[in-house]
Structure 1
């Protein structure tokens, strides 16, 4: 009888290998012992074992979504000090963290002075989206333009375009820190326009819309870009005291006490 049990377990192990179910293989013995102690039914035993496999797969998928998003660093919404955000961001925080804007295919524009939490908030929203099963990609606007130019030169722009359109959320950080040439402006306009009204994009910028002409250097394209990006978008005023400056001052004060 013992030999028969051993044989069945060996077969389960082999089947789990063939079916690529590593967690069933990993937890089989543990679950057999636990179910025996509880005198659990066969159905309960099987359900609990399959649950472990499902949980492990979901955790792996979440990890992979975060890895593929290419965040420069990990920041969570919970790490934000809400009371120190600019007033408009404090008001919009509860609404944005529901991620309803992704379901609705709406954009978010976080516009304001440096150091006020724009990038942190965008990464936090992106991380939460990954956890909830959305496909996310983070980039800076200068890096995105360079990538688009490289793809055009390598004749792989269509393949990139197909991937770009499928992300549930694209975060384009640092709009306005560097101006770009006509080719870059046209490529950026074309690709962001593809997502307009369909998929969500978060733009962070240190420039007011009146100054976007400085980076696009084409009044017609500037107007069209603003119109596409802001249509039914959530525009959050991020002007306020710098987070980073506060942290630097606190650090300097601590050094004096040492």
Structure 2
């Protein structure tokens, strides 16, 4: 085992992965069969893995995803209108590199938010910054931020986030202030960062939801016209789980 001063120095340098790898090597009976270069390479690999895992944990914590979902867990057998080829394409991350948007529509309970979180989780794994927001809460937060001086800081943070998820778009009509805030938010991100929207309301009704024709055109131009679209169909997944649970209880 290395002398304590050396271990202390590794600790000071925050090389925690190398310290763990070193301990594992000393606990491996035939480790001396490996050359110094091989053993050192294993230690460096462990340190790199530890740091990548720590960064991923930090990104996921900052994202505040509603569901712990992964693309690998998608059930394509359920008749929801999922295009596997499109999901695989989105999973490659090219849309994020191009600063494109994604709209996931469909009735309540079909898995819109879950799919959004799965794509967001993959983005975090690929090194992108992500933030999940329910649109009603975001609008409320921006309204409060105008009064307490946080608005500019909030908008700057959202503008530089690689993937911003706006969940539950269309639950209520926009107010005049919300229209202006949304246009500013999307204008800051347009062409540079990706925005993912989930909504029960069809896109062709969004213009009326926004309310103002001029601002509506501007918002939709920055959000819809460069967006991939996924339209989910079928029965509510929550209702299906309830049926399965009820059936299992009655057996």
Q: Output one character per residue of 1:183-212: Cα deviation in whole Å (capped at 9) or x when no partner.
A: 122112210221111111110011112322
Structure 2 unaligned runs (5+)?
none
Of 22-31 and 165-174, more deviation after overlay is shown by: 22-31
Q: Please show how residues 101-180 of structure 1 align to structure 2 within 5 Å.
A: 101-180=95-174
Instruction: Report the alpha carbon displacement of residue 55 of structure 1 after superposing the two structures with TM.
Output: 1.0
Instruction: Report the alpha carbon displacement of residue 249 of structure 1 after superposing the two structures with TM.
Output: 2.3
Tell me what 1:3 maps to.
none
Instruction: Report the alpha carbon displacement of residue 60 of structure 1 after superposing the two structures with TM.
Output: 1.2
The correspondence for 1:96, drawn from 90, 94, 100, is 90
Tell me what 1:76 maps to.
70
Give SS of 2:171's match: coil
Instruction: Report the alpha carbon displacement of residue 32 of structure 1 after superposing the two structures with TM.
Output: 4.3
Q: Output one character per residue of 1:128-180: Cα deviation in whole Å (capped at 9) or x when no partner.
A: 11112111111111111122222222212222222112211111110011233
CA distance in 1, matches of 2:85, 2:41: 44
Higher-Rg structure is 1
Contact 2:128 2:163 in 1 (8 A): yes
Structure 2 CA distance for partners of 1:148 and 1:89, relative to 1, 3 Å? farther
Tell me what 1:183 maps to.
177
CA distance in 2, matches of 1:36, 1:180: 68
Of 69-78 and 33-42, more deviation after overlay is shown by: 33-42
CA distance in 2, matches of 1:85, 1:172: 25
CA distance in 2, matches of 1:165, 1:78: 29
Contact 1:106 1:197 in 2 (8 A): yes
Q: Output one character per residue of 1:31-71: Cα deviation in whole Å (capped at 9) or x when no partner.
A: 24549733333222222212211111111111111111001
Give the root-mean-square deviation of aligned CA atoms.
2.1
The alignment status of 1:200 with 2:197, answered yes or no, reads: no
| TM-score (norm. length: structure 2) | 0.90
Give SS of 2:14's match: coil
Structure 1 unaligned runs (5+)?
1-5
The correspondence for 1:218, drawn from 212, 235, 243, is 212
Of 212-221 and 15-24, more deviation after overlay is shown by: 212-221
CA distance in 2, matches of 1:144, 1:78: 29
Q: Please show how residues 21-100 of structure 1 align to structure 2 within 5 Å.
A: 21-32=15-26, 34=28, 37-87=31-81, 89-90=83-84, 92-100=86-94
Instruction: Report the alpha carbon displacement of residue 237 of structure 1 after superposing the two structures with TM.
Output: 1.9
Of 85-94 and 45-54, more deviation after overlay is shown by: 85-94
Give SS of 1:138's match: strand
Give SS of 2:137's match: helix
CA distance in 2, matches of 1:11, 1:46: 19
